[in-house]
Amino acid sequence: MKFYRLLRLMTKEKKYICLAILFGFLAAISSIGLLGAGGYLISQAALEPPLYTLTLTIIAVRFFGLLRAGSRYGERYMSHKATFRILGRLRAYVYDLLEPVTPQIFSKYRSGDLLARMVSDVDRLQFFFLKVVYPPVVMVIVFLLTGIFLIRFSLLLTVVLWLGFFFVAIAVPMILSMVQKRMKPVLREKNGALSNEVSELFYGFTDLKTNLQLSKKNEATEYESAELINAQEREHIVQLKGETIAKGISFMVALGVLFLGVMLVNAGEVNGVMLALLVLVSLTVFETATPMVELPGHIEESHEAERRVFSVSDQDLKPIVEKGEIGVASSRFPQSITFQNVSFAYPGNERSSLKGISFRVNPGEKVAIVGPSGSGKTTVLQLLLQFYYGYSGEINIGNHDIKLMNEESTRELFSVVMQENYFFQDTVKKNLLLAKPNGTEAELKRVLEAVSLQKLPLETMVNGMEISGGERQRLAIARMLLKDAPIVLLDELTTGIDSITEQEIFSVLWPHVRGKSVIYITHRLRDLHLMDKIIVIDKGRILEQGTYKELMKKQHGYFRRLKQLEQELV
């Protein structure tokens, strides 16, 4: 059902939602009341009665005036509060949605794109209550009550009002939504087409220009822009027509009420004093109804955002094999790691990233996996960390197939330092505590000292400008040290870092991994003589493995040639 999950989330903020609706209703009804009472007041006054008979009406006018201002305030306050609180729930919900499928989901979408889209969809959905749920509810209540109020005078008036309501708030928006439903996909498609074209033009500018294809691309971009603008214009015009018709109908209702009113006064069924009141009420009541024309647009937008957000959880990204619950009791001791004939293709990719990989890392052994970019090095690590499933072959830690092991407790075995290590926008201290929640301040300082960051105060904000790339990597190493897991995984941790800094990083790293198993993934071939074994892969296959000396001895060995090439780099 449409919006089912969203509405369920919302029900948890019942209190604020009800208050917002209450105040919204009061605001609307008091602005009707204000003018109605005003009209009644002058009609009464026109009969030049003694002044005291007017007192009650005067009080009513003032009361409605104040009530309206006050309830508008309450409405604003409560509706914002409800919106923000729903937003909080929505975020937590989306987090919980993404958590189990990260990072598998990124093989399907580019991670940056997906996450940015999720965030902006959530931002859009936060207005679901404010724009989609709340206005119709308030409006229906207002029209119901106003209609009931009018029954006092004549059922006919109520019928005219509700008829107008039906057209303005239900029929016109529905027709509009039907027309727009056909336009929206076109609009989305054109929007996508334009941003594709213009991205390609800007990012591929040099290639386009030097190949004399720029003007062609420019024409294509201009064409898409014109197409999009046309589609938008058509949509806006439909919207405008809807608005005009709705407004016209609300005028007609006012006219009808006036007409009926005069008729009823003539027939003596309604006191003439009431005529002004009726007119003013019927004019004001539609103020809440005309925005309904915008509702289909908001519904469509929210629906689209909802569909995208929740589609993440609907995808089949769960492990195919039922996960086992074998815990890792003796997690303090290094254990062997074996890959047996492991093949794997990322979901949606035709080519396999790994093609029958077999190797073994003995407890306490230091192994480097080297190869050019795109060779499948990192895939090895991702499978080991159980970020992806659906590989063939077997991966074992100790005597256990990792498929049968508890995911969380397996990860306890590893400390990981990657090329891009993630730090939360928080203090150094908080980021370090992530690795060891009960770590003492002294402990943290000791670890910082170990990675030569003793000068960095614990309260410094990470992600601030003052932390350099080299410092970030050392901070990641500090986190690794705090976690003190038996197996250390290093993935391209010095890519994009100059060689002097690289040297510094390694000099703090190697002394701290004694006695641990290490898998070091790199395309730079530095410090590899320190490794017990080197595995060379390209295109998802192992080409060579052996010690540094063994590999360097091979006359035409792949590793030796890679090493030579690297040495010749200026």
Partner 1 sequence: MIDRRLNDWAIKNKRLMSGNILLSILSGAIIIGQAYVIATIVQLAFLQKEGLSSLLPLFALLFTLFLLRSILDYAVAKGNLRFASKMKGIFRKSLMEKYIGSSVLHANRYKTGEQVSLYTSGVEQLDDYYRSYLPQLIQSSIIPVMILVVVFLNNVYSGLIMLITAPLIPVFMMLIGSMAEKKTQEQLESMLRFSGHFLETLKGIVTLKLFGRSKTHGEQVKLRSDQFTEATMSVLKIAFLSALMLEVLATISTAMIAVEVGLRLVYGQLTFHTAFFVLLLAPELYQPLKNLGASFHTGRNSIAAAKKVWEVLDEEDRPVQWGEKELNSLSRVKELTLKNVSYQLEQQGRVDEGNGNGLSETAEILSDISLQMTRGQRVAIIGPSGAGKTTLLKVVLGLLSPSEGEILVNGTPLPFFSEEEWLSQVAYVDQFPYIFSGSIFDNVALSKPEASEKEVQRACEFAGVDLFVSEFSNGYETIVGEGGRGLSGGEKQRIALARAFLKRAPIVVLDEPTAGLDLETEAILTKSIETFSEDGMVLMVAHRLQTILKADVVYLLENGRIKGAGSHEELMTASPAYQKMMSAYQGGVSHEVL
Q: Which of residues 210-229 bind partner 1 (CB under 8 A)?
A: 210-214, 218, 221-222, 225-226, 229
| CA distance linking residue 415 with residue 330, whole number of Å | 16
Of these, 15, 230, 307, 554, which contacts partner 1 (CB under 8 A)? 230
Nearer Cβ to partner 1, position 158 or 352? 352
Nearer Cβ to partner 1, position 1 or 48? 48
Nearer Cβ to partner 1, position 200 or 401? 200
Of these, 98, 145, 171, 461, which contacts partner 1 (CB under 8 A)? 98
| CA distance linking residue 309 with residue 314, whole number of Å | 10
Name the one residue in this structure whose structure tokens are 């949605």: 97
Q: How many chain residues bind partner 1 (CB under 8 A)? A: 156
Give the x-and-dash track for 67-86 against partner 1 (CB under 8 A): -xxx-xx--xx--xx--xx-
55 binds partner 1 (CB under 8 A): no
Nearer Cβ to partner 1, position 27 or 456? 27
Partnered with residue 416 across adjacent β-strands are 489
Q: Are 469 and 496 in contact (CB under 8 A)?
A: yes
Q: Interacting stretch for partner 1, rule CB under 8 A, among 139-147, 313-321, 511-519, 554-562?
A: 554-562
358 binds partner 1 (CB under 8 A): no
392 binds partner 1 (CB under 8 A): no
Q: Which of residues 305-344 bind partner 1 (CB under 8 A)?
A: none
SS3 155: helix
| CA distance linking residue 113 with residue 516, whole number of Å | 37
Of these, 148, 155, 240, 321, which contacts partner 1 (CB under 8 A)? 240
The 10 Å Cβ neighbour count of residue 160 is 22
372 binds partner 1 (CB under 8 A): yes
Nearer Cβ to partner 1, position 148 or 229? 229
Q: Which of residues 17-46 bind partner 1 (CB under 8 A)?
A: 31, 34-35, 37-39, 41-46
Of these, 18, 151, 233, 307, which contacts partner 1 (CB under 8 A)? 233
Of these, 21, 280, 289, 518, which contacts partner 1 (CB under 8 A)? 280
Buried b (16+ CB within 10 A) or exposed e, 309-339: bbebbeeebeeeeeeeebebeeeeebbebbb
66 binds partner 1 (CB under 8 A): yes
Residue 524, Cβ density class (10 Å: 0-12 exposed, 13-18 middle, ≥19 buried): middle
56 binds partner 1 (CB under 8 A): no
Q: How far is the CB of 456 from partner 1 (least distance, A)?
A: 18
Residue 185, preceding peptide bond in cis (omega within 30° of 0): no
In this structure, which amino acid lies at residue 167?
F
Q: Interacting stretch for partner 1, rule CB under 8 A, among 98-106, 132-140, 158-166, 451-459?
A: 98-106
Q: Which of residues 530-549 bind partner 1 (CB under 8 A)?
A: 538-539, 548
Q: Which of residues 481-500 bind partner 1 (CB under 8 A)?
A: 483, 496, 499
Q: How far is the CB of 145 from partner 1 (least distance, A)?
A: 20
Phi-psi region of 370 (alpha: psi -120 to 50; beta: other; left: phi over 0): beta
Of these, 130, 156, 171, 252, which contacts partner 1 (CB under 8 A)? 252
Strands 366-370 and 392-397, by their bridges, are: unpaired
In the Cβ-directed half-sphere of 548, how many Cα atoms lie within 13 Å? 12
Q: Which of residues 414-473 bind partner 1 (CB under 8 A)?
A: 414, 416, 421-425, 434-435, 437, 465, 468-469
| CA distance linking residue 431 with residue 112, whole number of Å | 22
Residue 370, Cβ density class (10 Å: 0-12 exposed, 13-18 middle, ≥19 buried): buried
Nearer Cβ to partner 1, position 144 or 223? 223
Q: Which helix (H) or strand (E) holds 306?
A: helix 295-314
Q: How far is the CB of 273 from partner 1 (least distance, A)?
A: 7
Nearer Cβ to partner 1, position 221 or 335? 221
- What is each CA distance from 419 to 14, 412, 490, 495, 509, in whole angstroms? 46, 20, 8, 6, 14
DSSP state for residue 107 in the 8-state scheme: G
Q: Which of residues 120-179 bind partner 1 (CB under 8 A)?
A: 122-123
